[in-house]
Chains A and B, each alone.
Chain A
C-alpha cells in the first residue's frame, strides 16, 4: 500500500479539535512529529489526516505563574533547555532535555508530543511525575485537568480521549525549596535511557516536607517508590545519612517491573534502580544543603 495522508492545518485549538472529531481515529495531531513520523513510516501508526499543530500560536510558551510553571504542550525540548533559569526544577528538566536526543531533534520535538507518545523509556515522564505535574487537556466538551501519573496509562497510551488535546503541563513550584534530579544509564551520549530515576525533594526550615521518587524504563509507565519516599519525608536535612539514602533506594528494587529487550536485560534494569535513586537523592539533597549530597 502506498502510504500517504491529507494534510490539515488548524488555526486554533478549537479548529484542531473539530478536525479531529470530523476525521476520526486515523486523523492524528502532529506536533514535532519526531516520533510520529517514524511510527507512520514504519506502518505502526495509520494516518489518513495529519492535523499539523506547529503553526498554532499560544501553545509553545513556558511561563511562570504564582506557585507553578506552565509549559505549553508545543514548547520544544530546546525551549525547555532554554528555560532552566526559571527555577531549580526547570534546571533538572533542561538537563534532562539535553540528554534525550540530538540538538536537531530537540529543536523539533515538543514536550507535549513526548508525553502523548507515552514511551516507557521517555526521560521526561518520570521527572514530571516526581515533580507532581499535571496536564491541562482540552476537548469537545471543554477543559479538564489530570495528574501526570494518571495521564500516562500504558505503553504508548494515555488518558486522552479520542478528540482531546494536551495543551499544557503544569509544574508546581512550592514556596519551600524544591530540588530535583534525574539520573539514568545510557550507552552513547545520545541514547534512550536503559533505566532511569527521578527525584524531587522539598525542604522547609531544614526539614524534608515532601519527597517523590519515580523510576523510568522499568514498567509501562513511571513507577513511584512510595516506601522510599516515606523514609525521607519529615526528616531533618541534617539527620539524613547515607543509610537513609540506601534504605530509600532499596525500595526501588521491589517496585520495578522491568522487561528485557534489545537495550538491556530486566535483571540489570532492576539492579540499577537503587543505584540511580541513591545518586539522584544525593544530588537533590546536596543542592538543598544536606550532608550526604
Chain B
C-alpha cells in the first residue's frame, strides 16, 4: 500500500512495483481523464500535476509518487463546476477530438500558476510539451491567454467574449 494525495484526498493504493502512475490512476481510481497515448513522454496526454509541477505520468513509477500530491483533470473542475481554464478552452474551442485536452489543460494550469501574465509566444512554448494531432494549436494558445485573463480577474467565469 502506498499513500498519496490525489485531487485533494488522501488515498491508500495497492500499486504494483513496476506500475506506471498513469496506469495506477486509471486502474485504481478510475481517473480516465489521465489519457495515455504515446507512452514515451512525447505527447503529454497523460500530464498530471505532481507537487505543483507538470509531469507525464507515463514516465513516473507509481511508487515514486508515494507521499506526493497529485492533481488530475478530475481535480480541476467538473461538468457542473468548471475551472476558468476549462471555461476558456470551451470559449476559444481549443480542441477538436479532445483526447489530448486534459493534458493541455493540466500543462496550462501549471504554466499559469508560474506565469500568470504570459505573452502569446511564452504560452505557445509552454503548450509545446503536448501534442494536439488535430492541430488546434492557435486556439489552444488563445485558450491559455483567455484563461490567464480570467484567472487574473479572480477566476471570473463570465463569458467575456
B157 within 8 A of A: no
Residues of B within 8 A of A30 (CB): 61
**Contact between A104 and B55, CB atoms less than 8 A apart:** yes
**Contact between B129 and A103, CB atoms less than 8 A apart:** yes
* Contact residues on A (Cβ < 8 Å of other chain), bracket: 20 to 34
A204 within 8 A of B: no
**Contact between B41 and A105, CB atoms less than 8 A apart:** yes
Complex Cα gap A101–B56 (Å): 12
Complex Cα gap A107–B111 (Å): 12
Considering the complex, which residues of chain B in the window 79-113 have a beta carbon less than 8 Å from any beta carbon of chain A?
107, 110-111
Residues of B within 8 A of A34 (CB): 41, 59
Minimum distance in angstroms from A105 CB to a CB of chain B: 5
**Contact between A52 and B18, CB atoms less than 8 A apart:** no
Minimum distance in angstroms from B146 CB to a CB of chain A: 20
Q: Which stretch from A2-10, A122-130, A214-222, A276-284 is at the chain B interface?
A: A2-10
Nearest A residue to B47, CB-CB: A104
Contact of B64 among A6, A54, A103, A189 (CB under 8 A): A54
Count of inter-chain pairs, beta carbons less than 8 A: 78
Contact with A along B9-43 (1 / 0, CB 8 A): 00000001110100000000000000000011110
A15 within 8 A of B: no
Q: Tell me if A's interface is mostly helix, strand, loop or mixed.
A: loop
Considering the complex, which residues of chain A in the window 72-104 have a beta carbon less than 8 Å from any beta carbon of chain B?
78, 101-104
Minimum distance in angstroms from B135 CB to a CB of chain A: 13
**Contact between B63 and A104, CB atoms less than 8 A apart:** no
Considering the complex, which residues of chain B in the window 118-156 have a beta carbon less than 8 Å from any beta carbon of chain A?
125-126, 128-130
Contact of A190 among B58, B64, B128 (CB under 8 A): B128
Contact of A189 among B18, B44, B128 (CB under 8 A): B128
Residues of A within 8 A of B39 (CB): 41
A37 within 8 A of B: yes
* Contact residues on B (Cβ < 8 Å of other chain), bracket: 20 to 34
**Contact between B56 and A102, CB atoms less than 8 A apart:** yes
Minimum distance in angstroms from A31 CB to a CB of chain B: 10
Minimum distance in angstroms from B123 CB to a CB of chain A: 12
Residues of B within 8 A of A190 (CB): 42, 128-129
Minimum distance in angstroms from B116 CB to a CB of chain A: 16
Complex Cα gap A7–B2 (Å): 12
Complex Cα gap A102–B126 (Å): 9
Complex Cα gap A6–B125 (Å): 38
**Contact between A105 and B59, CB atoms less than 8 A apart:** yes
B76 within 8 A of A: no
**Contact between B129 and A108, CB atoms less than 8 A apart:** no
**Contact between A108 and B60, CB atoms less than 8 A apart:** yes
Nearest A residue to B52, CB-CB: A107
A37 in contact with B59 given A5-B17, A102-B42 (CB within 8 Å): yes
Considering the complex, which residues of chain A in the window 209-252 have a beta carbon less than 8 Å from any beta carbon of chain B?
none
**Contact between A102 and B63, CB atoms less than 8 A apart:** no
Complex Cα gap A5–B17 (Å): 6
Residues of B within 8 A of A264 (CB): none
Minimum distance in angstroms from A145 CB to a CB of chain B: 30
A104 in contact with B107 given A4-B16, A4-B17, A52-B64 (CB within 8 Å): yes
Complex Cα gap A105–B104 (Å): 14
A112 within 8 A of B: no
Complex Cα gap A72–B20 (Å): 25
Minimum distance in angstroms from B43 CB to a CB of chain A: 9
Minimum distance in angstroms from A169 CB to a CB of chain B: 22
A38 within 8 A of B: yes
Complex Cα gap A33–B55 (Å): 12
Minimum distance in angstroms from B46 CB to a CB of chain A: 9
**Contact between B61 and A78, CB atoms less than 8 A apart:** no
Complex Cα gap A101–B128 (Å): 10
Instruction: List B residues at the A interface (Cβ < 8 Å).
Output: 16-18, 20, 39-42, 44, 47, 50, 53-56, 58-61, 63-64, 66, 107, 110-111, 125-126, 128-130
Instruction: List A residues at the B interface (Cβ < 8 Å).
Output: 3-7, 9, 30, 32-34, 37-38, 41, 50, 52, 54-55, 78, 101-105, 107-108, 189-190
11 other contacts beyond A32-B59, A38-B40, with CB at 8 A cut-off?
A: A4-B16, A4-B18, A30-B61, A33-B61, A50-B17, A102-B56, A102-B128, A103-B111, A107-B55, A108-B56, A189-B128
